Amino acid sequence: MARLCFTLVILALALLVSQGESQTCTSQTFENKNVYANCTDLPHLNAYLHWTYNSTDSTLAIAFIAPPPNPEGWVSWSINPESPTMISSQALLAFKNNDNITINTYNVSSYNPAEWGTKLLYDVWDLSAEESNGNIIIFAKWKFPEKIEKVNHVWQVGPGIVEGLPLKHAMNPENKDSKGILQLVGI
Ligand SMILES: *[C@@H]1O[C@H](CO)[C@@H](O)[C@H](O)[C@H]1NC(C)=O
Ligand SMILES: *[C@@H]1O[C@H](CO)[C@@H](O)[C@H](O)[C@H]1NC(C)=O
Ligand SMILES: *[C@@H]1O[C@H](CO)[C@@H](O)[C@H](O)[C@H]1NC(C)=O
Ligand SMILES: *[C@@H]1O[C@H](CO)[C@@H](O)[C@H](O)[C@H]1NC(C)=O
Protein backbone atom coordinates (compact mmCIF):
# COMPACT_ATOMS: atom_id res chain seq x y z
CA MET A 1 0.00 0.00 0.00
CA ALA A 2 2.75 2.42 0.97
CA ARG A 3 4.57 1.53 -2.22
CA LEU A 4 1.45 2.19 -4.31
CA CYS A 5 0.97 5.59 -2.68
CA PHE A 6 4.60 6.44 -3.29
CA THR A 7 4.29 5.47 -6.96
CA LEU A 8 1.18 7.61 -7.33
CA VAL A 9 2.93 10.59 -5.77
CA ILE A 10 5.84 10.19 -8.18
CA LEU A 11 3.43 9.95 -11.12
CA ALA A 12 1.57 13.04 -9.99
CA LEU A 13 4.82 14.97 -9.60
CA ALA A 14 6.00 13.85 -13.03
CA LEU A 15 2.75 15.09 -14.52
CA LEU A 16 3.10 18.45 -12.80
CA VAL A 17 6.67 18.86 -13.96
CA SER A 18 5.85 17.95 -17.56
CA GLN A 19 2.95 20.39 -17.54
CA GLY A 20 5.20 23.09 -16.20
CA GLU A 21 7.80 22.53 -18.86
CA SER A 22 5.78 22.22 -22.02
CA GLN A 23 3.09 24.50 -23.29
CA THR A 24 -0.10 22.81 -24.38
CA CYS A 25 -1.11 25.61 -26.71
CA THR A 26 1.78 24.94 -29.09
CA SER A 27 0.07 21.76 -30.31
CA GLN A 28 -3.37 23.34 -30.81
CA THR A 29 -4.62 23.86 -34.37
CA PHE A 30 -7.78 25.33 -35.82
CA GLU A 31 -10.27 24.19 -38.45
CA ASN A 32 -9.92 27.54 -40.21
CA LYS A 33 -6.13 26.97 -40.41
CA ASN A 34 -5.34 30.29 -38.73
CA VAL A 35 -1.78 30.41 -37.41
CA TYR A 36 -0.51 32.80 -34.72
CA ALA A 37 3.00 33.87 -33.78
CA ASN A 38 2.54 33.45 -30.02
CA CYS A 39 0.48 31.39 -27.65
CA THR A 40 -0.01 31.28 -23.92
CA ASP A 41 -1.46 28.60 -21.66
CA LEU A 42 -3.56 30.89 -19.47
CA PRO A 43 -3.24 30.07 -15.76
CA HIS A 44 -6.94 29.60 -15.00
CA LEU A 45 -10.16 28.08 -16.38
CA ASN A 46 -8.31 25.74 -18.80
CA ALA A 47 -8.08 28.60 -21.26
CA TYR A 48 -5.54 29.40 -23.98
CA LEU A 49 -4.70 32.45 -26.01
CA HIS A 50 -3.08 32.45 -29.44
CA TRP A 51 -2.06 35.81 -30.81
CA THR A 52 -0.13 37.79 -33.36
CA TYR A 53 0.62 41.43 -32.78
CA ASN A 54 1.59 43.71 -35.65
CA SER A 55 3.28 46.69 -34.03
CA THR A 56 3.34 48.60 -37.33
CA ASP A 57 -0.43 49.03 -37.43
CA SER A 58 -1.09 48.05 -33.76
CA THR A 59 -3.40 45.22 -34.78
CA LEU A 60 -3.81 42.15 -32.61
CA ALA A 61 -5.18 38.91 -34.05
CA ILE A 62 -6.31 36.41 -31.42
CA ALA A 63 -7.81 33.00 -30.92
CA PHE A 64 -9.16 32.43 -27.41
CA ILE A 65 -10.00 28.89 -26.31
CA ALA A 66 -11.97 27.89 -23.23
CA PRO A 67 -14.48 25.25 -22.20
CA PRO A 68 -17.84 26.63 -21.02
CA PRO A 69 -18.83 25.07 -17.66
CA ASN A 70 -21.78 23.37 -19.36
CA PRO A 71 -23.04 23.04 -22.95
CA GLU A 72 -25.31 26.09 -22.65
CA GLY A 73 -22.54 28.16 -21.09
CA TRP A 74 -20.57 31.11 -22.37
CA VAL A 75 -16.90 32.00 -22.66
CA SER A 76 -15.42 35.47 -22.93
CA TRP A 77 -12.16 37.28 -23.55
CA SER A 78 -11.77 40.99 -23.09
CA ILE A 79 -9.36 43.89 -23.06
CA ASN A 80 -9.63 46.41 -20.27
CA PRO A 81 -8.12 49.82 -21.01
CA GLU A 82 -8.24 50.76 -17.31
CA SER A 83 -7.02 47.79 -15.26
CA PRO A 84 -7.18 43.99 -15.24
CA THR A 85 -10.74 43.81 -13.86
CA MET A 86 -14.23 43.07 -15.13
CA ILE A 87 -15.62 46.59 -14.98
CA SER A 88 -14.64 48.63 -18.07
CA SER A 89 -13.62 45.56 -20.00
CA GLN A 90 -14.27 45.46 -23.72
CA ALA A 91 -15.55 41.93 -24.10
CA LEU A 92 -16.15 39.27 -26.71
CA LEU A 93 -18.61 36.72 -25.35
CA ALA A 94 -19.55 33.52 -27.19
CA PHE A 95 -22.09 30.79 -26.59
CA LYS A 96 -23.76 27.99 -28.51
CA ASN A 97 -27.08 28.88 -30.07
CA ASN A 98 -28.65 25.73 -31.54
CA ASP A 99 -25.92 24.59 -33.89
CA ASN A 100 -24.19 27.91 -34.25
CA ILE A 101 -21.99 29.94 -32.00
CA THR A 102 -23.08 33.49 -31.35
CA ILE A 103 -20.48 36.12 -30.46
CA ASN A 104 -21.61 39.29 -28.72
CA THR A 105 -19.54 42.35 -27.92
CA TYR A 106 -20.03 44.16 -24.62
CA ASN A 107 -18.81 47.33 -23.02
CA VAL A 108 -18.90 45.95 -19.47
CA SER A 109 -19.82 49.12 -17.61
CA SER A 110 -21.33 47.51 -14.47
CA TYR A 111 -22.16 44.16 -12.89
CA ASN A 112 -25.58 44.18 -14.58
CA PRO A 113 -25.48 42.87 -18.17
CA ALA A 114 -28.78 44.61 -18.94
CA GLU A 115 -26.88 47.91 -18.67
CA TRP A 116 -24.05 46.98 -21.01
CA GLY A 117 -23.63 48.65 -24.39
CA THR A 118 -22.52 46.58 -27.37
CA LYS A 119 -20.22 49.18 -28.91
CA LEU A 120 -16.55 48.65 -28.02
CA LEU A 121 -13.87 51.23 -27.46
CA TYR A 122 -11.71 49.46 -30.07
CA ASP A 123 -12.45 48.37 -33.61
CA VAL A 124 -12.93 44.61 -33.71
CA TRP A 125 -13.42 42.63 -36.91
CA ASP A 126 -13.13 39.17 -38.45
CA LEU A 127 -15.16 37.73 -35.57
CA SER A 128 -15.77 34.01 -35.91
CA ALA A 129 -15.95 30.95 -33.71
CA GLU A 130 -15.36 27.22 -33.66
CA GLU A 131 -16.23 24.40 -31.34
CA SER A 132 -13.78 21.64 -30.49
CA ASN A 133 -13.76 18.96 -27.77
CA GLY A 134 -16.08 20.91 -25.51
CA ASN A 135 -14.21 24.16 -26.08
CA ILE A 136 -15.45 27.30 -27.73
CA ILE A 137 -12.85 29.19 -29.75
CA ILE A 138 -13.27 32.90 -30.48
CA PHE A 139 -11.32 34.47 -33.35
CA ALA A 140 -10.99 38.23 -33.67
CA LYS A 141 -8.83 41.11 -34.74
CA TRP A 142 -8.41 44.23 -32.63
CA LYS A 143 -7.09 47.66 -33.46
CA PHE A 144 -5.27 49.38 -30.60
CA PRO A 145 -3.93 52.89 -30.13
CA GLU A 146 -0.52 53.41 -31.70
CA LYS A 147 2.60 52.29 -29.84
CA ILE A 148 0.74 50.28 -27.24
CA GLU A 149 3.09 47.69 -25.70
CA LYS A 150 0.83 45.73 -23.38
CA VAL A 151 -2.84 45.37 -22.57
CA ASN A 152 -4.89 44.18 -19.61
CA HIS A 153 -6.88 41.10 -20.50
CA VAL A 154 -9.63 39.35 -18.60
CA TRP A 155 -11.18 36.01 -19.46
CA GLN A 156 -14.16 34.21 -18.00
CA VAL A 157 -16.70 31.41 -18.40
CA GLY A 158 -20.31 31.30 -17.25
CA PRO A 159 -23.23 28.91 -17.00
CA GLY A 160 -25.68 30.16 -19.62
CA ILE A 161 -27.68 32.85 -21.36
CA VAL A 162 -31.13 33.98 -20.26
CA GLU A 163 -33.20 36.35 -22.37
CA GLY A 164 -30.13 37.05 -24.46
CA LEU A 165 -27.98 38.08 -21.50
CA PRO A 166 -25.12 36.17 -19.87
CA LEU A 167 -25.75 34.67 -16.44
CA LYS A 168 -23.15 35.61 -13.88
CA HIS A 169 -20.08 33.47 -13.54
CA ALA A 170 -19.07 31.42 -10.50
CA MET A 171 -16.98 33.22 -7.88
CA ASN A 172 -14.38 30.50 -7.38
CA PRO A 173 -10.75 31.59 -7.03
CA GLU A 174 -10.01 30.58 -10.62
CA ASN A 175 -12.86 32.79 -11.87
CA LYS A 176 -11.64 35.74 -9.83
CA ASP A 177 -8.02 35.28 -10.87
CA SER A 178 -8.65 35.06 -14.62
CA LYS A 179 -6.98 38.28 -15.58
CA GLY A 180 -3.53 39.52 -16.44
CA ILE A 181 -1.33 41.64 -18.60
CA LEU A 182 -0.58 40.61 -22.15
CA GLN A 183 2.84 41.86 -23.18
CA LEU A 184 2.46 42.57 -26.90
CA VAL A 185 6.00 43.61 -27.71
CA GLY A 186 9.18 42.20 -26.22
CA ILE A 187 10.53 43.76 -23.07
C1 LIG B 1 6.01 36.36 -30.12
O2 LIG B 1 6.57 35.59 -31.15
C3 LIG B 1 7.60 36.27 -31.88
C4 LIG B 1 7.97 35.40 -33.05
O5 LIG B 1 8.28 34.09 -32.64
C6 LIG B 1 8.76 36.53 -30.93
O7 LIG B 1 9.79 37.24 -31.61
C8 LIG B 1 8.25 37.39 -29.78
O9 LIG B 1 9.27 37.58 -28.83
C10 LIG B 1 7.07 36.74 -29.11
N11 LIG B 1 6.52 37.69 -28.17
C12 LIG B 1 6.28 37.40 -26.92
C13 LIG B 1 5.75 38.52 -26.09
O14 LIG B 1 6.44 36.29 -26.47
C1 LIG C 1 1.83 44.80 -40.36
O2 LIG C 1 1.05 45.87 -40.80
C3 LIG C 1 1.63 46.60 -41.87
C4 LIG C 1 0.76 47.83 -42.10
O5 LIG C 1 -0.57 47.44 -42.30
C6 LIG C 1 1.75 45.69 -43.08
O7 LIG C 1 2.35 46.39 -44.15
C8 LIG C 1 2.59 44.48 -42.71
O9 LIG C 1 2.62 43.57 -43.79
C10 LIG C 1 2.04 43.79 -41.48
N11 LIG C 1 2.97 42.78 -41.04
C12 LIG C 1 2.67 41.49 -41.03
C13 LIG C 1 3.74 40.57 -40.52
O14 LIG C 1 1.57 41.07 -41.38
C1 LIG D 1 -26.41 28.76 -38.42
O2 LIG D 1 -25.84 29.78 -39.22
C3 LIG D 1 -26.04 29.58 -40.60
C4 LIG D 1 -25.24 30.64 -41.33
O5 LIG D 1 -25.38 31.88 -40.73
C6 LIG D 1 -27.54 29.63 -40.91
O7 LIG D 1 -27.76 29.42 -42.27
C8 LIG D 1 -28.24 28.55 -40.11
O9 LIG D 1 -29.63 28.66 -40.27
C10 LIG D 1 -27.91 28.68 -38.63
N11 LIG D 1 -28.43 27.52 -37.90
C12 LIG D 1 -29.02 27.64 -36.72
C13 LIG D 1 -29.48 26.35 -36.13
O14 LIG D 1 -29.18 28.69 -36.16
C1 LIG E 1 -18.93 52.24 -22.23
O2 LIG E 1 -19.70 52.51 -21.09
C3 LIG E 1 -19.24 53.64 -20.35
C4 LIG E 1 -20.08 53.72 -19.09
O5 LIG E 1 -21.44 53.74 -19.38
C6 LIG E 1 -19.35 54.88 -21.22
O7 LIG E 1 -18.86 56.00 -20.51
C8 LIG E 1 -18.52 54.67 -22.49
O9 LIG E 1 -18.68 55.77 -23.36
C10 LIG E 1 -18.95 53.41 -23.20
N11 LIG E 1 -18.03 53.15 -24.30
C12 LIG E 1 -18.42 53.08 -25.58
C13 LIG E 1 -17.36 52.77 -26.55
O14 LIG E 1 -19.59 53.22 -25.91
Q: What is the pLDDT of residue 13?
A: 45
pTM of the model: 0.87
Residue whose C-alpha is closest to residue 67's, from 168, 153, 156: 156
Q: What is the pLDDT of residue 23?
A: 82
Measured from the CB, is residue 100 less than 6 Å from ligand 3?
yes
Cα angle 145-128-108, degrees, rounded to a multiple of 5: 55
Tell me which residue has its CA closest to atom 14 in ligand 4. 119
pLDDT tens figures, 102-149:
999 999 999 999 999 999 999 999 999 999 999 999 999 999 999 999
Ordered per-residue pLDDT tens for the chain, 187 residues: 555 555 544 444 444 444 455 789 999 999 999 999 999 999 999 999 999 999 999 999 999 999 999 999 999 999 999 999 999 999 999 999 888 999 999 999 999 999 999 999 999 999 999 999 999 999 999 999 999 999 999 999 999 999 999 999 999 999 999 999 999 998 6
Q: Which atom of ligand 4 is nearest to the CA of 121?
A: 13
Q: Which residues line ligand 1 (CB under 6 A)?
A: 37-38, 183, 186
- Per residue, the 3-state secondary structure of 152-166, as one string, reads EEEEEEECCEECCEE
